[in-house]
Structure 1
Amino acid sequence: MNIEQYMQDLGQRARAASRLMARADAGAKNAALLGIAAALREQREAILAANREDMAAGRENGLDAALLDRLELTPARFEAMIEGLSQVAALPDPVGGITDLNYRPTGIQVGRMRVPLGVIGIIYESRPNVTIDAAALCLKSGNAAILRGGSEAIRANQAIAACVRAGLASAGLPEDAVQVIETTDRAAVGELITHPEYVDVIVPRGGKGLIERISRDARVPVIKHLDGNCHVYIDDQADEDKALRVAINAKTHRYGTCNTMETLLVAEGIAERILPPLAAAYAEAGVELRGCERARALISDMKQAVDADWYEEYLAPVLAVKVVSGLDEAIEHINHYSSAHTESIITENYTRARRFLAEVDSSSVMVNASTRFADGFEYGLGAEIGISTDKLHARGPVGLEGLTSEKWVVLGDGHIRQ
């Protein structure tokens, strides 16, 4: 295969499809989403069988536990894909709405219209469910998409791609509106990220190495987050039952996700009471603890943390633990070491909660809730294209609105400028 020619062909077809998608009405887009859901139901066993082949190949090739976890399509995750399509179909169409329409002294009306971005390239590792999430959000927001999944998920992704094409065709929309790259050759990524004439924005989802490479080499704007070093801070005015529930869930619910807690901060005024039961719960779950000296003085078998631990996204049953003097030190620690993904405070003190929300500089900041809620589905977006820790255009879970832009519109009646 000539990769350069193959990718240029994909790009040209995506650009042509994007113009058709930009004028597609909400009814057609929703019909396509429901058509994809119907095709997934029909092909359920074939898709799960393809995923089992991917899983077997992944084990043979030595994929680590975190990647295998992301790769697996469990029955629950399969149903969540279908539910995500239904949720996106039920969401308001973001395209075409005009806001802030006001008369100017000259008599013209000036406002802003929400419009699709155009062609979105999405590069991701492992998770075949991202193929559906990405297709659904790009489709509903009036964009075309070029999807490049990881080589480890090639079988499941191609089976899912066939369902996407079937759903688009059933609604009379161009099948080229969502194209899943068929080759596992890494040169395809290099082509995708260096052709702004075909692609308007790149969304990388995967490991830090992948995202760093895309950010460094792309000639197309990138919506990204490098890693998910998420924190929970237990304040000395926390409800201890809430603190236990949240801190345990934030770490042990799933290890291989970017919204999993990687560092636990505990105020010195509550550490002696809360750390022993937390340590026991983590030990039962098989979580290795690495702590500061003050934390280790309370938990004798806790390993010594080094400075690198405060930066680390483990994606594994490992947790860094630090005892801090209070809210000021917690906020300072988070803003220094965090990857600006998601942070949570456990407290019953309203003033401290408001300070935490205002002063912690991350894309999602929570009060008395697990970091695991930092997710487009949980935020009511239907699904997400990814998480952005950038501050321009989109921040946090990127849903429909994050895949659109605005343009100025002017309404006149023969008005001329004097």
Structure 2
Amino acid sequence: MKIAVIGTGYVGLVTGTCFADSGNDVTCIDINEAKIEGLKRGEIPIYEPGLSELVIHNSEAGRLHFTTETASAVAPAEVVYLAVGTPQGDDGSADLSAMWSVVKAIAPHLREDAVVVTKSTVPVGTNAKIFGMLKEFTGRECDVASNPEFLKEGAAIDDFMKPDRVVVGVRRSEVGDTLHQLYKPFLRTEKPFLVMSPESAEMTKYVANALLATKISFINEMANLCEKMGGDINDVRRGIGHDSRIGFAFLFPGVGYGGSCFPKDVRALESMTVDKELTPSMLRAVDEVNERQKHVISGKLDAHFGGDLSGKTIAVWGLAFKPRTDDIREAPALVLIDWLLSKGAKVVAHDPEALENVRAELGDKITYSERRMSCLEGADALCIMTEWKDYHSPDFAEMYQLMADPSVFDGRNLFEPERMARRGYCYHSIGRPMVDGRKK
């Protein structure tokens, strides 16, 4: 099929590239000329494992193209995907201004049989509004489908190529058939292709993310309680996770979720609930618990240093909101760093992929280390904020020698407390008792 993808952000670029890899002729469109020229040279603006190789391969094969010219790309397209940004507005709702601009821009160039598909995360009712706008602009009823994405940053290629399910919202069964053919190469393991109304498809995306966010906030709240009660959240997690009704997914205690999806989608769903004159009690609680959890490590540091961090050197391992991405949006590490700087501490940070993004945001307010171990020289404490594999098996003896004070604040529970104590560390983690093996 001939496909046009509007927007070369995270979702649009992954979507276009994966469709091209299954043999379709795909053109990705963006108004950012510098980004498009970079993509033509094989320069990927985001870090996502495996994406660069796929972009280059399919571009060289002549199946993947990049342009700023909307008309020439949309005119021949059988399917037009809308993958533009829908950032959070001041009131928590999604800002759809870019979406409306794109709909107006593509309307004069659509084939009569073209299917327009929203891939962006949009509020319920957006599909219906696009349908109405296109009818006004074109004078005919255009097919508009909803096809929410369920991509995890750091595993997006696998998620697209081997989906748990594909959800599409359509008004005509024939449109569902068209999209089924498009996705057929990715559904060979009998994964379900779920056809529903556009409103249900739009709702599915928000509900999925809100439920996953709820699980994270729940286990974090229970972890904080475990600490107060003298329990170990890892033991509790095992005790509940083997219950087939509960499972283990997203029940890992930490310093809160971040990124571009969970925070924004929970708040957008909350806003939609309020608009319908309902009370979003659970959604508000999920967001509030998560925001508090981002301050858990700062609370432990404050107590450890007796409230005085002035002049202390704090090493931070991990800046991205999760491993295998360079995305720092709503990252817990940035909340911690802001607090440390407000307390007069010196911050030295390392991350395998996100250093440049943080440098662009914080400039010279902190020190950046290209090596994880050099980050520790003279440090009064180490805070682990992202569970990169690079941090799972460090040389603990070298760490001990490098640090001025062998105190570790592990926001991702990478290590075992008893072993850390035997190695001579003061070790704080999430939902487990603090241990102090330092020589008195």
TM-score (norm 2): 0.25
Higher relative contact order (CA 8 A, sep 6+): 1
Query: Which has the larger share of strand?
Result: 1
TM-score (norm 1): 0.26
